[in-house]
Structure 1
Amino acid sequence: MHLTRVERWRLAFEAVVTAGIIFLCYFAVYEIFRWVVITFQDVFNEFWFFGNVVEDIGNQEIWGLTPLVFLFLIIVAGVAIYWRLKRRYRQYELKHIIKELHYIAKGNYDHRIRGSYSGDIGKVVESIHVLVDSTVEAMEEERRIEQSKDELITNVSHDIRTPLTSIIGYLGLIEEDRYGSEEEAKKYVHTAYEKAKQMKVLVDDLFEYTTVRQTTVPLEYVSFDMVQLLEQVAIDFELEAQKKEREIHISSSHKQIMMRADTEKIVRIFHNLLSNALKYGEGGSLVLIEVKKGEKNIFVSIKNNGKTLPKEAIEQLFERFYRAETSRSQETAGTGLGLAIAQSIVELHKGTITARVDDSWTVFDVVLPLENE
């Protein structure tokens, strides 16, 4: 810490005053001791070790005292002055720290206490910096949460309003008898029904997303064969893949890979990933599921050779309500929550999920521990 000019002068003055006080104390002690020596000289003469000290003091010959006495007095004075100045210096340090803290408390959270501090004060300053960093991080996280809530409301409102407007419109036509035939009325009802199902999917996904985002959500761990589970999920998408003229292939390093996890939620992970691959892999012909067993983890990659995504889209894929096509049209019907749900479930199982582009392949890599409790 750098002292100001005034503080340095005050420290110097403090040293002079302390030295003066010590000198006066020495002089007072000397005079008292001299009076005692003169008054009780016969008593002191009986103790040989006082030697010439008593005589010198009695004769006021202070410079005749042994050098060890002077050395002792100088050391005591030096220690006293050092202690006094050190104490005052600590007070100046605390004053500076408090001043800096007041500045930080006014909202200057990027500011840090200047200077180098040692000992306990150094530890206090370091703790203050850690506390400020934690506070800033918490405030930024709170701002992100608030922004996320606003985005959530905006996106949900958009995705609900669009089908709801259609439902109200078609049912309004029926209510007002504005249809040409019974077949046309049925068509309106069917369209309204489909839009209502879209709304239900959104609400269900939103509910599941908020559920799996809670780190305390209970998981029902059971032992199962991951290869068999993936084969079953692939069968569920076989019809949809045929409609899009694509094939789903599974490649595994082992015929059977046993692991422990919540099967219902694991199914949801790969259901969402396959749905995403078929829905957005425009121009592709193959969806490849690769499974590998490691020492402690299982590695699953979902690949499709359709149209690849730009880098900026890859980086945002796991953000809720994000869609690679920004128009949010109903042509690629979906809530934009599928990958966010998959990521939350993977993290609940202490695993990781990432996306990348490998040549002409869009790849989702899932890593899950073989054993979970």
Structure 2
Amino acid sequence: MLKLTGREKGALFFEGVETVALLILINVALIVIIQTFIQSNPGLASGIFIIKQSLWFGPYHTQIWSYQRIVIGIFIVIDAWVVWWRLRRRYHQYQMDHILAELHYIAQGHLDHRIPFRLKGNQQHVITSVNALVDSAVQSMNDERQIEKSKDELITNVSHDLRTPLTSIIGYLRLIEDKQYHSEEEIVKYAHIAYEKSKQMKNLVEDLFEYTKVQQHGAPVNIMTVDLSQLLEQVSASFELEGQKRGIEVTSITEPEPLKISADPEKLGRVFSNLVSNALKYGNGASYIKIEAHQHGDQVQIQVKNDGTKIPADSLSHLFERFYRVESSRSKATGGTGLGLAIVKSIVDLHHGEVTVTSDDNETAFTVTLPVEQPTTTSETKIDK
């Protein structure tokens, strides 16, 4: 509730006194004018007297009407309303003055401040709107700062991840250029290292391009009816040879089969390729990677599981952040760019789905939940594949 200052209370009191005094003077003047008008008109005076004599009650003929009393009563009612109206108007003016003072205080940079008092009527709507507007402005500023911070981090991480292999490439090519080698085998070795580092840079650029593409607002999604059974079989087959080299069995199971959903096949293939690739790189000691898909009503749940090294609990909530790696250092021994799982989450979000991860001593499982049918929009085309 708004509390008036002592000065405002005093001003309100004196305005009431001033209003009452003015009304008394006006009332006296009007009564004098009315009496003068009646006395100057004998016919009117006689009519009033006859009416007055005819209105009585009780055995003592008590009169119940007097025009003076009626006029005074009317004036009292009108005066009370005028005093109430003026004081109410002045009080509302003080309320608006306090609201404006709070606005000026906020506008001076005190964005954590909100108008604290509550009023009635339109003034409260103003206060609620102002506080909501300030909240929205602060949230927008925080979002803008977060975006700028995110951009800076993106530039920093990309610069770091590109500079490291680029430095190696330049270094080994300089050795070849300056003939700092002792045999043809060393030339081949230096060229191979430069080639591997170049592929690492290429992977980073491709992942960065894919990430920025799916992060764009209104990113195009080519929705088709996709046979998920075939798609997952293709993904597992593409990693079968690499899995054999590492002693890891890569398999896929779908239930029911065939299992068809609405999705962008290219982007969905990228999701599960990234998840299997992630399991191969970081699932140390794993003996299997299983891709299991099951339909539950109007949703499909796909899990990519492996029995490799457990992911630390404090890392689980950060896995889908871009450039995040579980390793304590930014070592590139595994060849990861730190964007694979961020791309997974972005693509799953585009498909109105959800991706989660659990990990314990027995198994690590990435779970992707997708709707069987995608919400129809004007930018989507749906065809059978």
Q: Could you list the runs of 5+ residues in structure 1 that have no partner in the other structure?
A: 53-62
**What does the per-residue CA deviation read over 1:184-224, in whole Å, with 9 as the maximum and x for residues that have no partner?**
21221221122111111111111111110012111111101
Aligned partner of 2:234 in structure 1 is: 232
In 2, the alpha carbon distance for the partners of 1:49 and 1:203 equals 108
For normalisation by structure 1, the TM-score amounts to: 0.91
- Pair 1:118-2:120 in alignment: yes
- Pair 1:21-2:19 in alignment: no
Aligned partner of 1:9 in structure 2 is: 10
Aligned partner of 2:310 in structure 1 is: 308
- Pair 1:332-2:331 in alignment: no
Q: Could you list the runs of 5+ residues in structure 2 that have no partner in the other structure?
A: 54-64, 377-385
**Residue identity opposite 2:4 in structure 1:** L
Q: Does the aligned pair in 1 maintain the 2:310–2:360 contact within 8 Å?
A: no
In 2, the alpha carbon distance for the partners of 1:94 and 1:359 equals 64
- Return 34-43 or 317-326, whichever deviates more: 34-43
Q: Does the aligned pair in 2 maintain the 1:215–1:348 contact within 8 Å?
A: no
- Pair 1:108-2:91 in alignment: no
In 2, the alpha carbon distance for the partners of 1:127 and 1:358 equals 49
**What does the per-residue CA deviation read over 1:264-308, in whole Å, with 9 as the maximum and x for residues that have no partner?**
001111111111112111122222222121222211122222112
In 1, the alpha carbon distance for the partners of 2:50 and 2:100 equals 55
**What does the per-residue CA deviation read over 1:112-164, in whole Å, with 9 as the maximum and x for residues that have no partner?**
11111121111111111111111111111111111111111111111111110
Aligned partner of 2:380 in structure 1 is: none
TM-superposed deviation, 1:48: 7.9
- Pair 1:255-2:257 in alignment: yes
**What does the per-residue CA deviation read over 1:332-367, in whole Å, with 9 as the maximum and x for residues that have no partner?**
111101111111111111111122235632222211
In 1, the alpha carbon distance for the partners of 2:51 and 2:129 equals 55
TM-aligned CA distance change 1:50 to 1:289, over 3 Å: farther
TM-aligned CA distance change 1:280 to 1:20, over 3 Å: same
Q: Does the aligned pair in 1 maintain the 2:229–2:253 contact within 8 Å?
A: no
In 2, the alpha carbon distance for the partners of 1:69 and 1:277 equals 96
In 1, the alpha carbon distance for the partners of 2:37 and 2:333 equals 110
TM-aligned CA distance change 1:71 to 1:39, over 3 Å: closer
Aligned residues: 363
Q: Secondary structure at the match of 1:360?
A: coil
TM-aligned CA distance change 1:194 to 1:14, over 3 Å: same
Deviating beyond 3 angstroms after TM superposition, the runs of 4 or more aligned structure 1 residues are: 43-52, 63-72
1:53-72 to 2 correspondences below 5 Å = 65=67, 67-72=69-74
Percent identity, aligned pairs only? 48
| Cα root mean square deviation, aligned | 2.1
In 1, the alpha carbon distance for the partners of 2:18 and 2:50 equals 35
TM-superposed deviation, 1:50: 6.8
Q: Secondary structure at the match of 1:126?
A: helix
